[in-house]
Amino acid sequence: MSTTGIDGIISGLDTTSIITSLMKLEAQPQTLLSNKKSDAESVLSALQSINVKVASLTSAAKSAADPASWKSYAATSSSSAVTTTAGTTATAGSLTFTVGAVATSQVSLTAAAVDGASLVAQNPPQLTFLKDDGSFVTVSPASNSLADITAAINASDAGVTATKVQVSGGSTPTYRLQFTSTATGTAGSFQLYEGDQAAVEAGTATRLDSTVTTAATDASITLYAGTAAEQTYTQSSNTFTGLMTGVDVSLSSAVAAGTSVTVTVAPNASAVQSLASSLVTNLNTILGDITSFTKSGTSTNSNGDSIITAGTLGGDSAIRNLQSALTQAASYPIDGVSPSKYGISISSDGTFAFDADKFASALASDPDGTASFVQALSARIQTTSDSFSNATTGTLTLKVNAEQSTINDLSDQIANWDIRLASRQETLQKQFTAMEAALSTLQSQGDYITQQINSLNSSN
């Protein structure tokens, strides 16, 4: 708070310092309010931090309590060249099949030529693709140059890509055009002719892709080989979608014909385990925050003595209730069975530990029982944590809102004190200014009287 320098010319007083000191006394109530607001803001920050973490625990517990979360399955393949993808509808099971063939795309070449004119006499030419299903696609390049031919084919909807490949060097290099089907399987096979559809149908068109380096083939697998139910499954794609319920199986070019592959679908132990471990992680995060915000500290007073100071939330009964409620919810038995049987146990320091090996063993020996127990435990934790963090009725949420209201009220009071203090400072400045004016008048009057007395004395 600034003051205008009105140090007394007449009185000789340091009025600026006097007013500053007086204003410090006047501002003591506002200082107390500011300190109170600072303390309230620290409490609010701590409450918000814990409330956010409790809400996170509620979310994790809700997920772990949902039976659908436990229906997670993973698919594995006995061959690294065969990949699997398990969806949400996958169920446990196993299937063995033999790979007959891997689907391939057709790759064809033109004859070697020094330029496009050596391949196609017409300029500009008309080119026609004859597809496997008997349909025709006509392509009309801008000219018979190799560049224009490849550009036109690549821009068409023929389902074929064209590439210009240099096959010899020297002063007169030669080229081939390579054509590759964009789709695998026999459905993507093609023939390319110089001429229109009528010429192709009449048999008078010249075939351009005279050399087929890779024939289009379908993928095939044999199911139940060697049994009465043996069946060959053939398709153009290397991905057999839904080969097992909710499971896609994909062949790669690395898999050899005749390879026997077993695909196994089993519960995803890692995903299920994370449901339980996340409960412990979230619990310990909250308990750690509670310890941090409630533990006492030490400080030094003006005499140099050490004094004990309470934690930010040291005297908060709601925080103590939260700590107790969560500890009970996560550690008390369910139907006489302790959570420690499934790897969730409370330590001597009040935090929780998760034994992954113990949980995995319980899950392997009794998957349904393990799921049922952890779901029940999670539901209990969810109910407890939600009672504190619920956005409308949660105990912590209500405390956060109340603390924020207190801070807002203190802010209003501090702002009112700003106005009051400004008015008081203005009053003090006016009073000291008036005092200086009065002293100046008295001094002038004193000087006049002195002059008169001196004048009388000199005349006598």
pLDDT in tens, 47-75: 999 999 999 999 999 999 999 888 888 99
User: Looking up tokens 């939260």, which residue turns up?
Assistant: 322
More confident position, 63 or 4: 63
Dist CA 364 CA 383 (whole Å): 28
- What pLDDT shows up at residue 3? 45
Amino acid at 109: L
- What pLDDT shows up at residue 325? 96
Beta strands in 208-313 (DSSP E): 211-214, 219-223, 231-235, 239-244, 247-251, 260-267, 297-300, 306-309
Q: What do you get for the CA distance between the two ends of the chain, in Å? A: 58
Confidence category of residue 193, pLDDT binned at 50, 70, 90: very high
Tell me if 56 sits within 8 A of 50, measured CB to CB.
no
Residue 113 has pLDDT above 50, yes or no: yes
Output the pTM of the full model: 0.60
Beta strands in 169-215 (DSSP E): 174-181, 190-194, 206-207, 211-214
- What pLDDT shows up at residue 312? 86
More confident position, 315 or 121: 121
Mean pLDDT (the chain, rounded): 90
CA 334 centroid distance within chain: 35
pLDDT in tens, 333-383: 999 999 999 999 999 889 999 999 999 999 889 988 999 999 999 999 999
Containing H/E element for 162?
Answer: strand 160-168
